[in-house]
């Protein structure tokens, strides 16, 4: 009987040990471990109420976007029905199609409409590229060739002193980051969920000399946010509102802070509506012009969509559809890839890429912008994301009436 009691006590202790360990860790950093405890219970795209704290990015809503009447559409209904079917099949929250100056079609998932904000994941990166251009245009930053260490002085005394703003924009900084892991002790989870990401970002060492390798690394846009705040002496949300967001006709957006009054995550987490993202896409389509005003210099809009020698499919925080890659990768340190089952119909497709197949496709030669937001997943057996990148834009381009 004593043996059985002893055995029961041991089993109970083993069962309780993980909970005790988590409780001890929770006390050391309640924000971080509180987020870890709940992140897997939500849909990170749809459940924006989970993200706390948030900081408002004031917008100035413009007039409603023009919408095509049923008998004036320039994209065929058959193409739309195919596109919508793929959107519904892949768990989309919103699908918008703009062509020849009007919104041709729009579709929203159950419980969502044109006022719904969602989390766009990495599509925020492409907004960062626009802000850097605005800062160079107004003289806040001298050029993309300025060493980042001018502002990130923590980098001035080592190999990172050679990293320029351009390297950060092109994901060629050579900065180290841990491989993705759900471990709470790695930098990936600390960047994603931690309550102090400024020091974390600035403490990442160099892996390779800058300019040698394309590596899709979330610490690059995060470093740019710190750089912008230091160069301007203003909070990121204020910079974003004044230099861009309030000039596009968008409504208010929100950025997710690491802690109250802290740093926003700028590799992700700009909560906005699908129509807001459409307006950002239209800025690209119209080469930086909104209602006749040059909001971002045309020359900068061209630089954004110019690839580097080591990353031909990536410009400044923005993806390029050519040259064709059947398996588009994110660099040598990310295992997953995105399928492109065929080349794009047009050779000038550019897009914002957010996890789960969240996209803003801009196709200037077709006068087209496509926005898709929603959830998605990974085919672990194949190592690819479930979203297939060429399907939606090619269906819609092939559906354009001549």
Q: What is the CATH number for 226?
A: 3.40.710.10
In angstroms, the CA 252 to CA 271 distance is 9
In angstroms, the CA 54 to CA 353 distance is 22
- Per the prediction, the chain carries an average pLDDT of 92
DSSP codes joined into one string, 9-74: HHHHHHHHHHHHHHHHHHHH-HHHHHHHHHHTTS-TTT-GGGS-SEEEE-----SPPPB--TTS-S
| pLDDT reported for residue 5 | 55
Examine the pLDDT at 15 and tell me if it is beyond 70: no
| pLDDT reported for residue 179 | 84
Q: Are residues 15 and 66 in the same domain?
A: no
Q: Are residues 115 and 25 in the same domain?
A: no
3-state helix, strand, coil in the chain (%, to 5): 40, 20, 45
| pLDDT reported for residue 167 | 98
| pLDDT reported for residue 11 | 57
Q: Are residues 393 and 337 in the same domain?
A: yes
Place of tokens 């381009």: 397
Q: Are residues 95 and 172 in the same domain?
A: yes
| Interval 300-313 mean pLDDT | 98
| Interval 4-31 mean pLDDT | 56
Q: Are residues 8 and 62 in the same domain?
A: no
Domain range for 6 is: 2-37
| CB distance 52 to 66 below 8 Å | no
Instruction: Encode pLDDT of 44-102 as tens digits.
Output: 999 999 999 999 999 999 999 999 998 999 999 999 999 999 999 999 999 999 999 99
Strands 384-388 and 337-339: parallel
Instruction: Encode pLDDT of 94-148 as tens digits.
Output: 999 999 999 999 999 999 999 999 999 999 999 999 999 999 999 999 999 999 9
HSE-CB for 333 with a 13 A CA cutoff: 19
Q: Are residues 19 and 126 in the same domain?
A: no
Number of domains in the chain: 2
Examine the pLDDT at 22 and tell me if it is beyond 50: no
| pLDDT reported for residue 28 | 67
Q: Are residues 262 and 293 in the same domain?
A: yes
Examine the pLDDT at 21 and tell me if it is beyond 90: no
Examine the pLDDT at 302 and tell me if it is beyond 60: yes
- Confidence label for 381 from pLDDT (cuts 50, 70 and 90): low
Examine the pLDDT at 354 and tell me if it is beyond 60: yes
Q: Are residues 29 and 170 in the same domain?
A: no
| Interval 312-322 mean pLDDT | 98
293: exposed, middle or buried (Cβ count in 10 Å: 0-12, 13-18, 19+): exposed
Q: Are residues 213 and 328 in the same domain?
A: yes
In angstroms, the CA 222 to CA 187 distance is 13
In percent, the amount of the chain with pLDDT more than 90 equals 85
Higher-pLDDT residue of 128, 22? 128
**E strands, 88-202, in order:** 92-99, 102-108, 117-118
| Interval 184-198 mean pLDDT | 93
Examine the pLDDT at 379 and tell me if it is beyond 70: no
Instruction: Encode pLDDT of 251-283 as tens digits.
Output: 999 999 999 999 999 999 999 999 999 999 999
Q: Which residues of 122-144 are buried (b: 16+ CB within 10 A; e: fewer)?
A: bbbbbbbbbbbbbbbbeebbeeb
Q: Are residues 24 and 77 in the same domain?
A: no
Q: Are residues 26 and 169 in the same domain?
A: no
Q: Are residues 104 and 176 in the same domain?
A: yes
Place of tokens 């897009």: 351
């Amino acid at each position: 009987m004593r043996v059985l009691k002893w055995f029961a006590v041991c089993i109970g202790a083993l069962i309780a040990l993980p909970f005790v360990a988590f409780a001890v860790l929770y006390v050391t950093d309640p924000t971080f471990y509180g987020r870890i405890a709940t992140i897997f219970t939500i849909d990170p795209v749809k459940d924006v109420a989970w993200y706390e704290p948030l900081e408002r990015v004031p917008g100035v809503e413009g007039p409603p976007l023009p919408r095509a009447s049923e008998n004036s559409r320039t994209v065929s209904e058959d193409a739309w029905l195919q596109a919508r079917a793929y959107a519904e099949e892949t768990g989309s929250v919103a699908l918008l199609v703009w062509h020849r100056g009007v919104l041709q079609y729009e579709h929203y998932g159950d419980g969502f409409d044109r006022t719904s904000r969602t989390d766009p994941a990495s599509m925020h990166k492409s907004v960062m590229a626009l802000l850097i251009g605005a800062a160079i245009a107004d003289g806040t930053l001298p050029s993309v060739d300025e060493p980042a260490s001018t502002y990130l002085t923590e980098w001035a005394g080592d190999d990172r002193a050679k990293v320029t703003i351009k390297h950060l924009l092109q994901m060629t900084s050579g900065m180290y980051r841990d491989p993705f892991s759900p471990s709470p002790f790695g930098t990936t989870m600390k960047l994603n969920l931690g309550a102090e990401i400024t020091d974390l970002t600035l403490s990442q060492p160099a892996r390779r000399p800058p300019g040698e390798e394309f590596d899709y690394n979330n610490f690059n846009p995060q470093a740019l946010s710190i750089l912008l705040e230091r160069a301007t002496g203003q909070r990121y949300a204020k910079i974003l509102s004044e230099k861009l967001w309030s000039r596009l006709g968008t409504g208010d957006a929100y950025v997710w802070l690491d802690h109250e009054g802290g740093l926003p995550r700028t590799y992700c987490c700009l909560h906005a509506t699908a129509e807001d993202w459409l307006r950002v896409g239209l800025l690209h389509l119209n080469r930086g012009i909104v209602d006749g005003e040059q909001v971002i210099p045309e020359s900068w809009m061209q630089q954004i969509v110019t690839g580097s020698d080591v990353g031909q499919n990536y410009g400044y925080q923005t993806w390029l559809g050519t040259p064709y890659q059947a398996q588009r990768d994110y660099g040598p340190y990310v295992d997953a890839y995105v399928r492109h089952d065929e080349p794009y119909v047009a050779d000038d497709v550019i897009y914002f890429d957010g996890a789960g197949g969240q996209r803003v496709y801009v196709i200037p030669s077709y006068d087209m912008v496509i926005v898709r937001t929603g959830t998605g997943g990974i085919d672990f057996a194949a190592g690819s994301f479930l979203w297939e990148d060429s399907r939606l834009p090619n269906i819609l381009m092939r559906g354009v009436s001549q």
